[in-house]
């Protein structure tokens, strides 16, 4: 059994869906489970719908219309001359979404609401792709991944309940996947009260790894719009080059620091069972791309990871006392409560600073919370965080020349620079 994962960029239009079908055709006869993300930027649009719903904005009508137009246009293009019966299923999904957003929010919890709305992107896209494949005589079974990916109720960042997930996948999904090509969603799961949960943005890679782990897959292939894992995002670093082979532990570090090509949680389940991960281009499907495994040689070049739109919060005590263990305990518990994951942190005698991607809607709430607990907070937004992994001095100097460095950190072979 192999797992394929196609991200939003691979199904951004009708041409993309046809390309996915041709890649799957080329693998006909192999046992495959295929994870497909929401189409193009649909998740961002759905996030706007959540914001509009939560704040009661009338803009929601237009956003919903955009969502519909985008998907129906793809369906129309795919259907020309074929007429496969997907529209009815999509109508029903939109109806379900409309039923949710027509009733004012019953819940205060933004993250819960988010998880009931945003997953429609994956539900719609997998229905479209599955039906298109059928129209091309690629037999497949559409499966709702919420029946198999069992999580806790930490909305927007749900944790996998591994024993339950493994058990149900073995019992119910494995026999189906042995017989048929399976098409399913990434990113979404089911919480303890049967409510939909999500695993965090870009979480479909992680879903693919979960399926691979539970099904003891022979490999996972993530099909992307880049050639493979590069030593920098080619859109930000013009001199970026492909890394053909990568060790699990280097891949974990790179993903952790924010190399967006792989979701940070993806590698661990694969490493645990030595399942290789291939990252390949859907534009050039015959190229080899990158293989992440435990048989790779040492990484011999530096990797650059640039995170934009970072916010730095500098926290000090209002009564000028030192930042000691008790304060740190409180600070970390507030960060955990607000689900803020810091990218770097630093503390001195009287202040504690950290840099994170913080949802703007959350920054003020977080500042208020610190303030309520006796801290003073200074926030600076729109910063860039450059991480250089496997750094060599000469490359490093070039990359930060001419920039104002607000914070600098060195951990063995990894450097971090926070700049304006």
Give yes or no for residue 359 binding ligand ASP (CB under 6 A): no
The answer to whether 220 touches 293, Cβ cutoff 8 Å, is: no
Rounded Cα gap, residues 75 and 90, in angstroms:
10
- Binding-site residue total for Mg ion (CB under 5 A)? 2
Q: 203 is in the binding site of which of Mg ion, ligand ASP, none (Cβ under 5 to 8 A by kind)? A: ligand ASP
CB of 354 to Mg ion, least distance (A): 27
How many residues comprise the chain?
Answer: 420
Q: Which residues, at least 6 apart from 396, have a Cβ–Cβ distance to it below 8 Å?
A: 302, 388, 415
Joined tokens for residue 87: 């529209």
Give yes or no for residue 204 binding ligand ASP (CB under 6 A): yes
Q: Kindly tell me which of 198 and 353 has the beta carbon lying closer to ligand ASP.
A: 198
Q: What is the strand order of the sheet 140-143 is part of?
A: 140-143, 181-185, 32-36, 2-6, 219-224, 277-281, 290-293, 245-247
Q: Which of 6, 53, 54, 187 binds ligand ASP (CB under 6 A)?
A: 187
Give yes or no for residue 207 binding Mg ion (CB under 5 A): no
The answer to whether 126 touches 142, Cβ cutoff 8 Å, is: yes
Give yes or no for residue 4 binding ligand ASP (CB under 6 A): no
Q: Kindly tell me which of 120 and 213 has the beta carbon lying closer to ligand ASP.
A: 120
Give yes or no for residue 121 binding ligand ASP (CB under 6 A): yes
φ, ψ at 285 (rounded to 5°)? -65, -10
Give yes or no for residue 121 binding Mg ion (CB under 5 A): no
Q: What is the dihedral of CA 386, 388, 392, 398, to 10 degrees?
A: -20
Three-state DSSP at 31 gives coil
Give the range of 7-15, 27-35, 78-86, 299-307 binding Mg ion by CB under 5 A: 7-15
Q: Kindly tell me which of 32 and 46 has the beta carbon lying closer to ligand ASP.
A: 46
Q: How far is CA 193 from CA 143, 190, 259, 270, in A?
A: 20, 8, 34, 29
Q: Kindly tell me which of 114 and 132 has the beta carbon lying closer to ligand ASP.
A: 114
Longest pairwise C-alpha distance within the chain: 74
Give yes or no for residue 8 binding Mg ion (CB under 5 A): yes
Q: Kindly tell me which of 145 and 327 has the beta carbon lying closer to ligand ASP.
A: 145
Q: Give the contact letters, 32-51, x = binds to Mg ion (CB under 5 A), - = no.
A: -----x--------------
Task: Give which of 166, 103, 126, 156 is closest to 37, Cα–Cα.
Answer: 126
- Binding-site residue total for ligand ASP (CB under 6 A)? 12
Give yes or no for residue 228 binding ligand ASP (CB under 6 A): no
Binding positions for ligand ASP, rule: CB under 6 A = 7-8, 37-38, 43, 121, 186-187, 201-204
């Amino acid at each position: 059994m192999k797992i394929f994962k196609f991200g939003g960029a691979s199904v951004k239009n009708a041409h993309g869906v046809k390309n996915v079908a041709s890649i799957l055709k080329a693998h006909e006869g192999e046992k495959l489970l295929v994870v497909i993300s929401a189409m193009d930027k649909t998740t961002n649009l759905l996030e706007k719908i959540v914001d509009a719903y939560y704040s009661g904005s009338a803009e929601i009508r237009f956003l919903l219309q955009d969502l519909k137009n985008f998907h129906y246009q793809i369906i129309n293009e795919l259907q020309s001359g074929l007429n496969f019966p997907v529209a009815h299923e999509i109508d029903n999904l939109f109806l379900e979404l409309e039923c949710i957003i027509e009733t004012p929010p019953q819940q205060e919890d933004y993250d819960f609401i988010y998880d009931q709305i945003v997953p429609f992107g994956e539900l719609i896209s997998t229905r479209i792709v599955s039906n298109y494949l059928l129209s091309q005589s690629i037999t497949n079974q559409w499966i709702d991944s919420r029946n198999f990916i069992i999580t806790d109720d930490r909305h927007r960042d749900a944790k996998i309940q591994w024993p339950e997930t493994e058990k149900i996948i073995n019992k119910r999904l494995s026999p189906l996947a042995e017989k048929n090509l399976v098409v399913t969603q990434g990113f979404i799961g089911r919480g303890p009260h049967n409510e939909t949960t999500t695993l965090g943005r870009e979480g479909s890679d992680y879903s693919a790894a979960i399926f691979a782990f539970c099904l003891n897959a022979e490999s996972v292939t993530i099909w992307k719009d880049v050639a493979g894992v590069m030593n920098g995002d080619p859109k930000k670093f013009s001199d970026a080059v492909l890394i053909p082979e990568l060790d699990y532990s280097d891949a974990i570090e790179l993903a952790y620091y924010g190399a967006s090509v792989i979701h940070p949680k993806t590698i661990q389940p694969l490493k645990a069972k030595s399942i290789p991960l291939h990252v390949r281009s859907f534009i050039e499907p015959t190229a080899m791309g990158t293989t992440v495994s435990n048989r790779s040689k040492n990484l011999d070049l530096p990797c650059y990871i640039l995170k934009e739109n970072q916010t730095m919060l500098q926290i000090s005590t209002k009564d000028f006392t030192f930042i000691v263990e008790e304060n740190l305990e409180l600070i970390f518990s507030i960060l955990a409560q607000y689900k803020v994951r810091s990218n770097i942190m630093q503390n001195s005698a009287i202040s504690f600073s950290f840099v994170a991607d913080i949802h703007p809607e959350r920054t003020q709430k977080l500042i208020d919370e610190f303030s309520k607990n006796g801290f003073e907070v200074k926030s600076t937004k729109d910063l860039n965080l450059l991480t250089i992994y496997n750094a060599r001095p000469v490359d490093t100097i070039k990359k930060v020349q001419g920039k104002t460095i607000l914070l600098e950190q060195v951990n063995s072979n990894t450097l971090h620079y926070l700049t304006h």
